[in-house]
Structure 1
């Protein structure tokens, strides 16, 4: 099997290995180690694979090194590769990556972040800390979700870029503090993804999404030793309430504390709603809050049984209400009246019209 480098040149022989190679260094986007190995175990030179001939697998790298030295002596230079023809600070990717996806612009983005935080940079950027950036990180995440909800690819591209920049921001601050840098972040997630997908990168088997999920949790507990004092522990308290409820109940369900079918959950929702009605009739604010919380929690469990993310469902409901209300305002204006000065029956009529013209 033959593949070519990013310029469509230098044919590369692909040899599957008998044992899975170490896949971590191949994911690095910034120059670090001199010698990298790509996914199928072929020796590469700073991200490019040389040669008009097939290379041996990574297990024979010493012989490849000797052959490289021999070629250098014969021709006066190392084997020509795409990587060696580029600025090493702008290129360090797999030889199998082609065209626009070479990611050579990633180091440039890192340099921009360094410049903003450095001497003569931006005074606002230089004063930021991990803590001060929390609100902006949350805002960017929500804007990404909004772009996805709107199915706007152009907006999604832009918002993903903003989110990526937030990640680089935190990595740069950590680097300045002597904690870690963006390369360490890439190392960490690469190792984690390979480790948690043995059915892809090793000989494990997981043929269904459920099996993959169970395997994922097993690896977290056994290999990574992520054990908490409680079975439902480990869910960040800073999560939005609906999302946190979904996570907690999912953990409890994995331990066997769950209903058997959707009908049982529906019955529980009805029970909680009845208790909420009773609390409202009694007029005790504290009890009403308690029962309302129970009713919402029961609905979160129902969402889990229906394979619906309650947080996403709530976001959609908010957006749907906003679209319909804005449409109702437009209908009212076209009718020569305003929302504020219309009676309830008129508003109901406007609302029904708005529902028909919006999704």
Structure 2
């Protein structure tokens, strides 16, 4: 069995490379350096011969491809005999190729040994005189978009090679920290003649006078100002509110008592959207998110569910209902709504169309529920072919309502009125108009005209209720003429 010895070259000071790493380098004639851009390489040249793999950086478009190609190359070379693969710092600290090589080597029955030296992280904490025992997070600058930023602990960001990367880092961090959060630009940590550090406010991170190169990292101490920007923050606050020393009102709430607030907040969000008010939308979305967290906290306390289960449920549902996106399944997008409904029935184990109709929430406003019922029926072909048929149905239901009104039978009047409303909702669906929205527009129009009438009556030093019906009608027509 052939062997790959992965050695760490330490942070850059020759005295900080381990004796074990030096012994491995001096005992091998097949040495490969991931990069020769490292401060101790000039001294190593005096005693060893090596091959640099820097040329991979020129041939690939991104670092992920570079790391994969280098790893594959090393494993292929190891099939011919033992070798030493040298990397900066410690092989186990922020060195992507090590894990890839180990995985590939295992598949090819090749032994892998790692030989440690001091990491640049150790050198940084030593240089900054900071104790890492309080905890820290290590992040690669090229992976920060997908990384969790925790302002409650210190953080080191590596591979800040240039001002462009520094700008991207600054923009990302300003989503979590105050603009004047103190950060430290560290260069050459562990290399005595290259070490430098510069504390700057975050907004100055990418200034042209700051030094950035392949030995640059960024240290961010734990923030003294709490920024609330994660769902976890909201969970923590809700846990406190429901806790022993929390709020009596919050502690006594149940799923049942909170039900009405979910509906209220949803409608308030709709109003914010109608008003095109971004600040109001942010506030109302927060209120809706609070309701989600509130119910999850109650579920957690009762031992039935928590936020993780809720998130897992919706993620699983979205993946399952978008097989064309996540599983490369061909779907006719013209029939997507029908496919979506079929997937929902499969998920819920429903065997009939009626089950889907019964699933529509009873608490929905009647107009919205009517539209949903009609839409689900239309998906399987139970629908009018022409809008003329819809108008004829409305006319039919209107005449039936008139007939029942003449008979004075309140039971059947109510039934026929419902049929007429149902038919009008069907017309709105054919016209691609939201019936609920249309009726709300009319409600608002009525309020505007009524306000006009009342204001004009006041100018006549009269109350609206003191006017005759004809006088009110005259004011109403005047409101219409004023485009109200």
SS of 1:80's equivalent in the other structure is strand
Q: CA deviation at 1:262?
A: 0.9
Note if contact 1:90-1:105 (Cα within 8 Å) is conserved in structure 2.
no
Cα distance, 1:242 vs structure 2: 1.3
* CA displacement at 1:230 relative to structure 2: 2.2
Structure 1 residues 321 and 205, CA gap change in structure 2 (3 angstroms): farther
- Tell whether the 8 Å contact from 1:196 to 1:219 is kept in structure 2 after alignment: yes
- Equivalent pair of 1:13/1:55 in contact (CA under 8 Å): no
1:216 aligns with 2:332: no
1:7-156 alignment to 2 at 5 Å? 13=63, 63=103, 74-75=118-119, 77=121, 80-81=138-139, 86-87=150-151, 98=172, 104-156=229-281
Among 443, 463, 467, the residue aligned to 1:338: 463
SS of equivalent residue, structure 2 residue 399: helix
The correspondence for 1:324, drawn from 445, 449, 457, is 449
Q: Name the CA distance, whole Å, in 2 between partners of 1:324 and 1:90.
A: 61
Residue in 1 aligned with 2:11? none
Q: 1:135 to 1:274 in 2, by over 3 A?
A: same
State whether structure 2 residue 299 is matched by structure 1 residue 235: no
Q: Which moved more, 1:224-233 or 1:277-286?
A: 224-233
| Equivalent position of 1:355 in the other structure | 480
> In 1, distance between residues paired with 2:241 and 2:296?
13
Q: Deviations over 1:50-94 (max 9, x none)?
A: 9698999xxx59649x9xx96985516499305587347999xxx
Cα distance in 2 between the residues matched to 1:242 and 1:342: 35
Once the two structures are TM-superposed, the CA of residue 130 in structure 1 deviates from its matched residue by: 0.3
TM-score, normalised with respect to structure 1: 0.73
Q: CA deviation at 1:177?
A: 0.6
Q: Runs of 5+ in structure 1 lacking a partner?
A: 1-10, 16-49
| Aligned partner of 1:248 among 373, 377, 383 | 373
Q: Greater shift after overlay, 123-132 or 162-171?
A: 162-171
**Larger mean Cα displacement after TM superposition, 261-270 or 238-247:** 238-247
- Give secondary structure in 2 for the equivalent of 1:128: coil
Mapped partners of 2:476, 2:95: distance in 1: 70
Structure 1 pair 271–117 and aligned structure 2 pair: CA distance change class (3 A): same
1:164 is paired with a residue of what secondary structure? Answer: helix
Deviation, structure 1 residue 272: 0.5
TM-score, L = length of structure 2? 0.55
Decide which moves more: 309-318 or 169-178.
Answer: 309-318
1:130-209 correspondence to structure 2 within 5 Å:
130-206=255-331, 208=333
CA distance in 2, matches of 1:13, 1:195: 32
CA distance in 2, matches of 1:212, 1:122: 47
Query: How many angstroms apart in 2 are the aligned matches of 1:276 and 1:237?
Result: 25
RMSD: 3.7
Using CA pairs below 8 Å that are at least 6 residues apart, which structure has the higher relative contact order? Answer: 1
1:90 and 1:354 map into 2 onto residues whose CA distance is: 65
Paired with 1:184 and 1:119, the residues of 2 have a C-alpha distance of: 25
| Cα distance per residue 1:280-306 (max 9 Å; x no partner) | 222221121111011001111112211
In the aligned structure 2, how far is the partner of 1:277 from the partner of 1:220? 41
After TM superposition, give the deviation of residue 334 of structure 1 in Å: 3.1
Equivalenced residue count is: 305
**More strand per residue:** 2
